[in-house]
Structure 1
Amino acid sequence: MTYDVVVVGAGPAGSTIAKIVAERGFKVLVLEKYTLDREKPCGGAISNRVVEHFRIPEKAFARKCTGIFFCSPKNRTAVIGKRGKIRFVMRSVFDKVLCQMAMDKGAEFFEKSLVNEPLIKNGKVIGVKAKIEGKTKTIKGKLVIAADGTPSTMAKKLELYSGRPNTIGFCFQYQMELSNELIEQRIGSNMEIYFGSQWIPFGYTWIFPKNNVVTVGCGTWIDVIQQRKISLKEQLDHFIKKHPVASTKLEGAKVLHSQAHLIGFPGVLKDNVAKGCLIVGDASGTVSIVNSEGIWYSMKSGEAAGISAAETLEKGDVSANTIRTNYYKNLDQKVKDDFRFAAKIRNFINSDSKQQRTVVSIIKDQWWANLIESIIDGTCPLKKGFKQVRSRPDKMLKAYALYR
């Protein structure tokens, strides 16, 4: 089997690539190791920019978020935002909708197709070897793009995976059954974020309401888990039972199933191009270290890869240098800036005292509430947000002096 483009992974990045390439008239195949409607481990909150930019139909969403709830390490609480700029999704539904959007344009998808390794000839990736319906098959492509998550099999095989513990996050969560009636009484349609190292160090815990389901999870860095020798399952169980605010909201909720997953952040790869193969999406670490938002960045990464693939095929130049140059040329400048400024923004919430100050600042000062809301819901790019903070030293001084 031969295609113009072979994509490994049918998540948001892979589906976005496939849709764009198919729209441009090229033959594209997406290989997914699970089913297209698998329930991928994910908190399931997306910013409205995903909906608007990629024109996602309403059937993809489980609930519209109407507010952002914060609980500080000392249990001060605040709710901000009534603009409805965030949506909640179950990934089994959302990802399948994205796949269908690509199929409608002519892309092909193979489910339960495990890619084992790249096919290399004369120093260039010309396809993949995959186990399909129990048989190992060779699938060739003029271009191969890997969007297979963290840790990426393709990145490992091409010796691009760094695997550094400080560039990888680990999350554990439950999908819990709770009636919509109780969700409305206790949580509403709020995204809930809980801070405090007593619950999870250097990370946060979340409660995201869906349709008769709440997603409850926690996450932090692999190096933190290794150094502190903590179990995320034990941390989350403790949070559900003992947190003075959250435990009452989750009383009576029944665990449907648990999920665990790794998240690749910038630096998880040594490079994202090798032997003419491009690595994108979560597999390449396109996840924000500010709030772990990944779907928007994965889809923008996939968009750049899809446009670049079509351009290189149209020009007949599929060299590694051309692929790399086109990808970064087509990657949205605001996305590049977000990753450049993410560490600066993250620095405001990287300890209990700073998290406490952030929540109290939201309570005391509407300026901070508006800024933080706009950063979380994606309406304020991180570069712009950082500049706003730098332009108001009076706000910073007051927050550090008074908000504790």
Structure 2
Amino acid sequence: MYDIVIVGSGPSGSNLARLVSDKYKVLLIDKRDLCNESPTNRRNKCCGGLLAPDAQKMIAKLGLGMPKDILVDPQIFAVRTIDLTNNIERLYQRFYLNMDREKFDNWLVSLVPAKVDKKFNTLFKGFEEVEDGYEIRYVSNGKEGIKKTRVIIGADGAFSKVRNSLSNYINSPIKYIAIQEWYECSNHIPYYMAIFDEEISDFYSWIIPKENYLILGSALRPKDDTLEKYNKLKTKMSEFGLSFDNKIKTEGAYINRPKKNSQFYVGKDRIALVGEAAGAISPSSAEGISYALKSSLYLAQSLEEGIDGFLDRYKRKIYGIKGNLLVKNLKSPAMYNRFLRQLAMKSGIQSIK
């Protein structure tokens, strides 16, 4: 009988496991084979691998120092913003850490104490309520299994099975498909490129340099000529002198975009959600690591006083996250309304010449 089963060992799940391990018997599960340095079923997170200032602040707040081998060249101090709809571009100073996302996740998992049980290469199948808690079902290395627990934590991302079992898709954030492809690139660019084009997406696209590679990605509406629009983006960006000939790999994943605070949902009874599973992700930039670390910290603090009443304490603590998401949604029209964006970019305020 576990006290807590955490489904998903991304930043929110692994951080929570690390923080609550002293007090509870914990099981951490993930579909990725994180213990194997050369997994045969590698599932990399579809992520640009830029650590934003808010996420850097949370790492500092947690008292952690990130190993340098997680970082990759080049380190980025500017964003080249290209508005294809309005045919205008600007360069803005920003401070991101360019990193290897897989190494970042593995580093956070390595901080989880040995006393936490870990089941990787394990697919969470569902749960049912039983006396004194829940029974979770999973498939690990091809074998079905069952474990009992008092508490379930959904840290399993945008397409969270834990959340879907609770809310039956009600009040879920808008879902996009993030597609990104890696290309060999000998011409290094010293900035991150953010691309706005209403023909492609009502969200945004990106180009990120990563060592000897270039990542081209876009957040696209599902079932809306997704691949056709991605290929159109590729054609348009080729006109900027970028080469997309030598493709190395393709990655894809669902991402959430919460447009209403009611879409930020943290669970019920003894089942809680953290990170993107809860809908905690920026609706303006899709940055999620800071929210993952913050929500898992708040949940760990709520569990510190015991399991009884922990969800009510958690709901009180996350008011700050709700307020932050509200501000981000108020900010979004200036980024995603073509006329407001045109006014902001034409003004040249805060841009670098």
The answer to whether TM tops 0.5 is: yes
Which SS does the other structure have where 1:69 is aligned?
Answer: strand
Aligned to 2:225: 230
Aligned to 1:115: 124
Shift of 1:294: 1.1
Shift of 1:52: 4.2
Shift of 1:125: 4.3
The 1:158–1:328 alpha-carbon spacing in structure 2 relative to 1, beyond 3 Å, is: closer
Contact persistence 2:264–2:279 (CA under 8 A): no
Instruction: Specify the code of the residue in structure 1 equivalent to 2:242.
Output: L
The 5 A counterparts of 1:129-168 are: 129-162=137-170, 167-168=174-175
Which SS does the other structure have where 2:305 is aligned?
Answer: helix
Shift of 1:163: 6.9
% of aligned pairs identical?
22
If each structure's helix is expressed as a fraction of its own residues, which one has the higher value?
1
Aligned to 2:90: 78
Contact persistence 1:147–1:282 (CA under 8 A): yes
Distance 1:230 1:125 in 2: 44
Aligned to 1:35: 33
Aligned to 1:393: none
If each structure's strand is expressed as a fraction of its own residues, which one has the higher value?
2
Alignment TM-score, normalising by the size of structure 2: 0.86
User: Are 2:175 and 1:211 equivalent residues in the alignment?
Assistant: no
Contact persistence 2:269–2:311 (CA under 8 A): no
Could you tell me which runs of 5 or more consecutive residues in structure 1 were left unpaired when the two chains were aligned.
371-404
Contact persistence 1:287–1:293 (CA under 8 A): yes
Distance 2:4 2:244 in 1: 49
Aligned to 2:37: none
Shift of 1:88: 2.3
The 5 A counterparts of 1:28-107 are: 28-36=26-34, 38-54=43-59, 55=64, 56-63=66-73, 64-73=75-84, 74-81=86-93, 85-103=95-113, 106-107=115-116
Count of equivalent residues: 336
Aligned to 1:196: 197
The 1:101–1:257 alpha-carbon spacing in structure 2 relative to 1, beyond 3 Å, is: same
Contact persistence 1:38–1:92 (CA under 8 A): no
The 5 A counterparts of 1:1-400 are: 2-22=1-21, 24-36=22-34, 38-54=43-59, 55=64, 56-63=66-73, 64-73=75-84, 74-81=86-93, 85-103=95-113, 106-122=115-131, 125-162=133-170, 167-179=174-186, 182-183=187-188, 187-188=189-190, 190-198=191-199, 200-220=200-220, 222=221, 229-231=224-226, 233-243=227-237, 247-251=239-243, 253-266=245-258, 271-313=265-307, 317=308, 322-331=309-318, 333=320, 335-361=321-347, 363=348, 365-366=349-350, 369=351
Distance 1:62 1:292 in 2: 21
The 1:61–1:3 alpha-carbon spacing in structure 2 relative to 1, beyond 3 Å, is: farther
Shift of 1:152: 1.1
Shift of 1:20: 0.6
Which SS does the other structure have where 1:34 is aligned?
Answer: coil
Which SS does the other structure have where 1:312 is aligned?
Answer: coil
Shift of 1:263: 1.2
Alignment TM-score, normalising by the size of structure 1: 0.76
- Alpha-carbon RMSD across the aligned residues, in angstroms, is 2.5
Instruction: Specify the code of the residue in structure 2 equivalent to 1:57.
Output: P
Instruction: Specify the code of the residue in structure 1 equivalent to 2:207.
Output: I
Distance 1:259 1:247 in 2: 23
Distance 1:107 1:51 in 2: 26
Could you tell me which runs of 5 or more consecutive residues in structure 2 were left unpaired when the two chains were aligned.
35-41
Which SS does the other structure have where 1:324 is aligned?
Answer: helix
